[in-house]
A and B are shown apart, each in its own frame.
Chain A
């Protein structure tokens, strides 16, 4: 029983980071209907940037988003104008080919720069663990979860209370209507893509406090975030958080009770079940 609760706790905390990653994906998909296969590789890229900054200047991983957040925002905006913008009116296949291409490109670049072996930062300011009611909670994971939730809340406020946030929501609701009342769609799309990418910078910095990074990690985070998005459905930010926690907990439970190698199996089982039984997700609109 203790192992169950313990792994549920660990998984739930990790799930909050998954939710943050997925929020970026859902911004991009929800607003411009682009299936971004490279999203996980933005997470991987962010982790490498965190590693690079951390090892070069001795900055602690938790603080790297101060630099990587604007950096990834720029990467996202550039990626949008350079390759996504031209495919918006093309077939889905073209968009998939382009984002898969971006994914491969990012992986190749990171392999060239940092080789294929896993990289990790020596230590983080946030380390050790706290004990609550006999359970052991890693401080780095706890703080990651808290920061993720705060970031999700921040984005939520941005979307509901600011002019650019409203423009993003209007464009995602009805693009034609939004442009005819003065919303510049390319600008809105670039903003959504930039913000969606920048969110991976926060996740990447947090992950580097307790994890190592290698160039193949992008696929794992990419597919994982698609699972969370499918489970949550489009349009509900609290739903995203709950779904992230469910996926994190399921992953962690299957590792603890069954086999560490089974974690993806369970996650994708959930993915398939959701698509089959409830395609709009648990909290999705319509």
Chain B
């Protein structure tokens, strides 16, 4: 594994009025890694994603992606540079078919002449052939998550952020999703950052884990280190659990 950083976040802070949703977070993600970002509800994980991907402008701090400062750069430019994401609450294009939805993503790097090749490739990679002509508005949660993943993949990102991609999935669906993600990481060398509540997925998939609590980065390490870290246990289970 190369240790070249793909994403460097330094002193990132995002406030909403008096609430500090992300507080002075500094972290690095290296090329080819699968990292996890965990934390209790309201820890600021989604805000962190939104700030990195350009949906929010940070109040302080900088985001460097592939050596380029992307602080305050609009989302579509960040996407062009090679970062994409999925959403916790699925945001598929309800009026479009699965194929068209993926196609919108594929236009990021392809023109009309070769866009369908990419669409076909991603659809088969994500196992969406059977539903490719269905409207996204008619799909169930598991399929929607996969369509979102496909749409993000179609933009050909180098770094893919997944916001709670495993939430609400059955064990079998989760296993399939993890397999797709592993393949994506290995075969297409896409760096992955997953925000996740489902511990099974984080522990099974990630090489390194960051822990956010109340907007602050409180721990960082391998899955074993994290699961034995007293501050993490405290954040998740409360103070008494440590004794």
In the complex, besides A166-B103, A174-B92, A235-B95, 10 extra interface pairs with C-beta distance below 8 angstroms are A163-B107, A166-B104, A176-B55, A179-B55, A180-B78, A181-B108, A182-B79, A182-B155, A184-B74, A285-B94
Do B80 and A182 touch across chains, with their CB atoms under 8 A apart?
Answer: yes
Q: Which residues of A contact B (CB under 8 A)?
A: 162-163, 166-167, 169-170, 173-174, 176-185, 235, 285
Assembled-state Cα–Cα distance A180/B115 (Å): 18
**B158 interfacial by beta-carbon distance below 8 Å:** no
Give residues 141-155 of B contacting A (CB, 8 Å): 148, 151-152, 154-155
Assembled-state Cα–Cα distance A235/B95 (Å): 9
- Given A163-B107, A180-B85, A185 and B76 contact (CB-CB distance below 8 Å): yes
Q: Which residues of B contact A (CB under 8 A)?
A: 53-55, 74-80, 84-85, 87, 91-96, 100-101, 103-105, 107-108, 111-112, 115, 148, 151-152, 154-155
CB contacts (< 8 Å) of B94 on chain A: these are: 173-174, 285
Do B93 and A182 touch across chains, with their CB atoms under 8 A apart?
Answer: no
17 A–B contacts from the bound complex (CB under 8 Å) = A166-B103, A166-B104, A167-B107, A170-B93, A173-B93, A176-B91, A177-B92, A179-B76, A180-B55, A180-B79, A181-B105, A181-B108, A181-B152, A182-B76, A182-B79, A182-B80, A184-B74
| Min distance, Cβ B90 to any Cβ of chain A, angstroms | 9
Residue in B78, B104, B151 whose Cβ sees the most chain A Cβ within 10 Å:
B104
Assembled-state Cα–Cα distance A285/B100 (Å): 18
CB contacts (< 8 Å) of A285 on chain B: these are: 94-95
A174's partner among B79, B84, B91 (CB-CB below 8 A) is B91
Do B95 and A169 touch across chains, with their CB atoms under 8 A apart?
Answer: yes
CB contacts (< 8 Å) of B53 on chain A: these are: 180
CB contacts (< 8 Å) of B103 on chain A: these are: 166
**Closest A residue to B83 using CB positions:** A180
Residue in A169, A176, A178, A181 whose Cβ sees the most chain B Cβ within 10 Å:
A181
- Given A170-B93, A176-B91, A181 and B155 contact (CB-CB distance below 8 Å): yes
CB contacts (< 8 Å) of B155 on chain A: these are: 181-182
Assembled-state Cα–Cα distance A174/B95 (Å): 10
CB contacts (< 8 Å) of B78 on chain A: these are: 180
**Closest A residue to B49 using CB positions:** A180
Do B104 and A181 touch across chains, with their CB atoms under 8 A apart?
Answer: yes
Assembled-state Cα–Cα distance A177/B84 (Å): 10
| Min distance, Cβ B158 to any Cβ of chain A, angstroms | 14
Assembled-state Cα–Cα distance A162/B91 (Å): 22
| Min distance, Cβ A187 to any Cβ of chain B, angstroms | 8
CB contacts (< 8 Å) of B85 on chain A: these are: 180
A180's partner among B84, B107, B112, B154 (CB-CB below 8 A) is B84
- Given A170-B93, A174-B93, A177-B91, A182 and B108 contact (CB-CB distance below 8 Å): yes
